Each structure stands twice: as C-alpha cells, then as structure tokens.
Amino acid sequence: MSQSFRWPEILDIAQREGKVSVERLAAHFGVTTQTIRRDLSDLADAGKLERVHGGAILPSSVSNIGYEMRRGLHAEEKARIAAACAAQIPDDISLFLNIGTTTEAVAQNLLHHKNLLVVTNNINVATILAANPNCEIILAGGQLRRADGGLVGKLTSDAVAQFKFDLAVIGCSAIDSEGDMLDFDIQEVGVSQTIISQSRRAFLVADRSKFTRSAPAKITTLSQIDALFTDHPLDAPLAALCRDWGLATHIIPPSSTGA
C-alpha cells in the first residue's frame, strides 16, 4: 500500500485538534467517507492514529486505553501461565521482569514471595510489586514508552548490565517455527538480550497467540531459555527442537474446570 497525499494533512489536523472525524475529513477533502475510513485504517495500522467510532484520535492522547484493553485479552490464559511460572520462582533470589502483560501477571503472583530483589524495565511491574513489602524493587531507567509503560533504550541496557540475576522472566512479541524469539521494537530487543546474558536462568512466558504472529527483530533462540510457560501444546517440529535444547516446557491448558 502506498500512501495518500491526504495522510500528512490528516495527521496535521489530528495533531492540532487531538481528533479527527470521518465526516469532516470527507467534506474537507471532497471524497467519500469510504475513502477516509480507508485512510484512517491505514494510519491506525501504521500506529500513527488510534481508531475510534466516527473518526480517530492521537494514540495515547491521554493514556493508553488500547494497552489496558489488550491486557484484558487472553487474561485468563495469562493468569494461569503467570501462576504456574510464579510457582517455580523461589524466595530469596534476584529476579528480572521485563515488558509485557504476561510478566505483569507474573508480578501479581509474586506479591506473597519473600525477600526478592526485583529489577524491571516495566513501570507497571514496579507499581504492582510495590504492594509487596518483602521485596526490593529497582527500576532500570530509560525512555518511557507510553504504549505499555516500558522503559527502553541505551540507558536501560546500561542499567541492566550492572546486575547479575538468579532468574529472568521475560515475554516477547512472537516466536517463530524455528524457535526464534522476536520483537517489534529494536530498542527493546537490545534490552532483552542484555537481560538474558546477565541471568543465570531464564523463563519465557508466552500465551499461544505469540506462536502465530510474527515480528521483525530477533532477540535470541529458545535454546538460550531454561523454561517455557504457555497455554497450548507446541507444534510437533517446534516441540522437537525444544526437547533437543533441553527446554522445560510447561503447558497450562485453557481450563481444567471445563467451561
């Protein structure tokens, strides 16, 4: 898809007024609402705008509702994965939690652990774990990504590099059939790589949707991971790879108490 000459002006109006309406844009450009809708969809796909009924608004214009709703997606699966993962985390260790809704769910399940040193680049994880008094929290600095409360960039990698963790619990955007872990943001990839290299052990938490998506930037391969927590059995080829790598795969099925 190439881009339309209207795009810059739509974005300009959105910047100025905070929002754009389909009707007004159609009148403004002298095209049908159909065409404007296509423009807005494209701009939303490109992450430039957030689509709403009747028009579009600036992404994260007030605070990221998209993320809050995404958190609700697969919430049950995530909660189960998180509980199983947290059950494998002992007390009295140093721990890293990275960006992602699933790692946030893990944090929720660590509220009753004792004597943890938790380092994170996720502002939400920090606020969640603040409720656990038996837990020292260190936030790695960096540029705040409004989309998900993540901290990324060189500052973050530098901060992470100063630690050595007993365990890292990480999420990623996608996992491909060859067992490569992928992410959308190249800056986050750098951070994740540093985390893994600074950890004695690493757990990956990923709901099944991660196995059917793709993303452009490679973090590492599953061979670098010690345990995988997910909610659905892996495809045979991938499962074989994991066996070869000695990866402990914990499958926590959708709903044992049948719904």
Residues near DNA (CB under 7 A) are 1-4, 6, 22-23, 30-35, 37-39, 41, 51-55
Q: Which is nearer to DNA, 55 or 100 (CB)?
A: 55
Q: Which is nearer to DNA, 40 or 125 (CB)?
A: 40
142-159 burial, b at 16+ Cβ within 10 Å, e below that, comes to beebebbbbbbbeebbeb
63 binds its own copies (CB under 8 A): yes
Residue 255 interacts with, from its own copies, DNA, none (CB under 5-8 Å by kind): none
**x/- binding map, residues 105-134, to its own copies, per CB under 8 A?**
------------------x--xx--xx-x-
**x/- binding map, residues 20-59, to its own copies, per CB under 8 A?**
-x---------------------x-xxxx-xxxxxx-xx-
Q: Which residue has the tokens 């705040």?
A: 144
Q: At closest approach, how far in Å is the CB of 168 from its own copies?
A: 17
Residue 90 interacts with, from its own copies, DNA, none (CB under 5-8 Å by kind): none
259 binds its own copies (CB under 8 A): no
Comparing C-alpha atoms, which of 52, 70, 56, 74 is closest to residue 20?
56
Instruction: Answer for the pair 95, 165: CB distance below 8 angstroms, yes or no.
Output: yes
Strand partners, 150: 122, 145
| Distance set, CA 205 to CA 106, 191, 225, 229, 231 (Å) | 9, 17, 11, 5, 10
Structure tokens that stand for 93 in this block: 């260790």
Q: Which residue has the tokens 């430039």?
A: 48
Q: Residue 21: phi, psi to the nearest 5?
A: -110, 145
Q: Which is nearer to its own copies, 1 or 236 (CB)?
A: 1
Question: Number of residues in contact with its own copies, rule: CB under 8 A?
Answer: 57
CA distance 84 to 89: 9
Q: Which residues bind its own copies (CB under 8 A)?
A: 1-5, 7-8, 11-12, 15, 18-19, 21, 43, 45-48, 50-55, 57-58, 60-66, 68-69, 72, 123, 126-127, 130-131, 133, 136-144, 146, 151, 155-156, 159, 162
